[in-house]
A and B are shown apart, each in its own frame.
Chain A
């Protein structure tokens, strides 16, 4: 029952996307299966769906990668190096993660306009990195602080520089946590809506959520079949990630939130 509660909208999405007519429930009958909507979404250039997908993939992947690296360096500093005001930094970053996005978008829009970054990848990339950093930092700090300090000492005595301690010992040992941070940042960036809505104007940089939200028919009536087919294509990778890596995701969510 629980599973069906979680799944039914998605299954419905699947059903509509495969159907000729969106109103098949109303007409009590003919469920004509067809892949026509998928064909349209994937081949019709004027729908720009593939552009959105590419933009999303590029922006989400690169911001997750960059954000995870930056957060890992920072978590190393917080847990292992002398740093005045560690607690203040952590608190400040946690507080930053609670700021409403809308409070940032007004200024960001003008900043990006001035930089000429509206509707560019970097215009989304940088805010996304900043936006996902707090969560990654908290997650990686709790991950790093679970690695015993004696391991660092052993590495130092074995002749490592502090850089080698990070690179050859901490990062490999923390790999599950780093992967979780990457996954969570990726999902967060892939799902982000408001920044993408404000900072993009067309298929040059527009991401999938905005693309699908603004998807209008060419002829008045909503092309529900196409929208749902696009939604399926866009969410299938996410669903696959969830199915494959749910353990990492759960660990990441609880590590980042509960310890915080």
Chain B
């Protein structure tokens, strides 16, 4: 059992290096060039980044991405917590219920986004059927204005990703010893107090994990936007991923790489910050 570790881990390292690390480095490299399909490739140093900083479309997509995270992640956490608390109860058909909750997570985002597209569809979609059916007014173009499109995206995204949060928090809940609840009841805490003073604090590590994974995931949001709004209307819902993608699609690899590197750096900073935060919490506990 000696000295053989390297041999067993080599395939993994090779794959990760070849298809994750090298491409990242490649993106860094490419971002230093003006590299557009039909033009001569030219070294520009930080020129692409400078261009991005002064590019209003880039700032718009940065702003969108940040607001998208700020709105959708807390919403998902709140919904996920509610679901987890329900699933933690001793309900009949718990297994079936859990399978239902998992379904949105398991279905390809592109496909569920197609369903949302239909739901939001003008005139005949489910959303408008409910809207008019409930007497709220005439049919609405749910993807037509920047704010409506934003709200529709957040709803679709929250539907898709709440299950993940639920499962993580459910695991956190089931790790809380039941004796603590009994002890709290003996100490005459009411159920609201139990929730605030016991459940929530003990759930904090799981919340943090869910927050970390969801934030990093929301940072790179692409599929749902690509299908639902394609970044519109007027570029108002273009996420950073989609923005970079559009440049790649047009053969502008230099600028696209610069944006994707910027996104990578933000994601990396987030993950480092969270890892530090997690360590800090553990040190407190």
Q: Which of the residues A16, A197, A239 comes within 8 Å of B118, measured between beta carbons?
A: A16
- Report the interface size class on chain B: 35 or more
**B260 sits at the interface (CB 8 A):** yes
**A133 sits at the interface (CB 8 A):** yes
Q: Are B24 and A99 in contact (CB under 8 A)?
A: yes
Residues of A within 8 A of B253 (CB): 106, 110
**B231 sits at the interface (CB 8 A):** no
Q: Are A126 and B15 in contact (CB under 8 A)?
A: yes
Q: Which of the residues A80, A130, A213, A227 comes within 8 Å of B20, measured between beta carbons?
A: A130
Per-position binary interface string of chain B over residues 10-31, scored 1 when its CB falls under 8 Å from any chain A CB and 0 otherwise: 0111011011111110110010
Residue of B nearest to A255 (CB): B171
Interface of A is mostly: helix
Residues of A within 8 A of B55 (CB): none
Q: Which of the residues A77, A103, A242 comes within 8 Å of B24, measured between beta carbons?
A: A103
Cα–Cα, bound, A210→B167 (Å): 27
Interface residues of B in 206-239 (CB under 8 A from A): 206, 209-210, 213, 216, 219-220, 222-223, 226-227
With contacts A89-B9, A130-B18 known, is A107 near B30, CB below 8 A? Answer: yes
A interface residues, tally (CB under 8 Å): 90
Cα–Cα, bound, A198→B21 (Å): 19
Cα–Cα, bound, A165→B8 (Å): 14
Residues of B within 8 A of A26 (CB): 123-124, 128-129
A170 to chain B, nearest CB (A): 12
Among B69-77, B92-100, B182-190, the stretch that binds chain A is B92-100
| Interchain residue pairs with CB less than 8 A apart (13) | A7-B100, A27-B124, A81-B2, A93-B16, A101-B241, A105-B245, A106-B27, A106-B260, A129-B19, A208-B111, A212-B114, A238-B107, A257-B209
| B contact set with A: CB distance below 8 Å | 1-9, 11-13, 15-16, 18-24, 26-27, 30, 83, 86, 95-104, 106-116, 118-119, 121, 123-126, 128-129, 159, 163-164, 167-168, 170-172, 205-206, 209-210, 213, 216, 219-220, 222-223, 226-227, 240-241, 244-245, 248, 253, 256-257, 260-261, 263-264, 267-268, 270-271
| A contact set with B: CB distance below 8 Å | 2-3, 5-7, 9-10, 12-13, 16, 22-27, 70-71, 73-74, 76-78, 80-83, 89, 92-93, 95-96, 98-111, 126-127, 129-131, 133-134, 137, 156, 162, 165, 187, 190-191, 193-194, 197-198, 208-210, 212-213, 215, 224, 227-228, 231, 234-235, 238-239, 241-243, 246-247, 249-250, 253-254, 257-258, 260
